[in-house]
Amino acid sequence: MSWELMLWLFAFVSVISLIGLSLYQLITLSDLEFDYINPFDSSNRINAVVLPEFILQAVLCASFLLTWHWFSFLITLPVTCYHLKLYMKRKHLVDVTEIFRSLHWEKKYRIIKLAFYVTIFVIVIYRLVLTAVTLLMDDEDVNFINSGTL
C-alpha cells in the first residue's frame, strides 16, 4: 500500500474525529442553553475534549507538511495557529463562571470550526478517492503489462 494512501486514510480518520469532537462540543453547549445540563458539567465535558482536538489538528497539519502536501497544509495551518494562540494565552478552556455570558460566541465559534472541518473532509475524501483510483489503475496497468498481452 502506498504511503500517500496511508496519509489520506489517516487524514480521513482524523477529520472524522475532529468533526465528531466539534459536534460533541456543540451539542453540549446546546444542552446547556436549553437547561438540560448544568454549567459545571458542560464546561468539564467541553474542556475534556479541547486539548485532544488541538493535538489532533496539529498532528494533521504537521503530517501534511511532512509529506509535502502544501495545499492541504496551508488550509489547515490557520486553524492550527489559532489553536496554538489560544493555548499560549490560556484561553482554550471554557470557564464555568463565564459560560453563560459567552454561550452565544462559543456556539458560533464551534459552528465555524465545524464548517471548516466539513470543508476539509470534502477535500480529504476527494484526495483519498483520487489516490485509491490512481493506485488501482497503476496496479491494473502493471498486471496488464506482466500478462504479456501488450
| Residue 149 pLDDT exceeds 80 | no
pLDDT band at 137 (very low <50, low <70, confident <90, very high): confident
pLDDT band at 136 (very low <50, low <70, confident <90, very high): confident
Over residues 87-104, mean pLDDT: 92
| Cα–Cα separations (whole angstroms), residue 12 to 29, 53, 109 | 26, 15, 23
Instruction: List the chain domain ranges.
Output: 3-143
DSSP symbol at 94: P
Cell of 80: 492550527
| Residue 98 pLDDT exceeds 70 | yes
Residues with Cβ within 8 Å of residue 18, at least 6 apart in sequence? 53, 56, 57, 60, 117, 120
| Cα–Cα separations (whole angstroms), residue 44 to 30, 47, 131 | 15, 5, 40
pLDDT of residue 143: 63
How many angstroms separate the CA atoms of 81 and 99, rounded?
Answer: 24
Residue 56, judged by CB atoms within 10 A of its CB (0-12, 13-18, 19+), counts as middle
How many angstroms separate the CA atoms of 119 and 5, rounded?
Answer: 20
**How many residues does this entry show for the chain?**
150
24-73 tens-digit pLDDT: 999 999 999 998 999 999 999 999 999 999 999 999 999 999 999 999 99
| Residue 139 pLDDT exceeds 80 | no
pTM: 0.89
pLDDT band at 138 (very low <50, low <70, confident <90, very high): confident
pLDDT band at 140 (very low <50, low <70, confident <90, very high): low
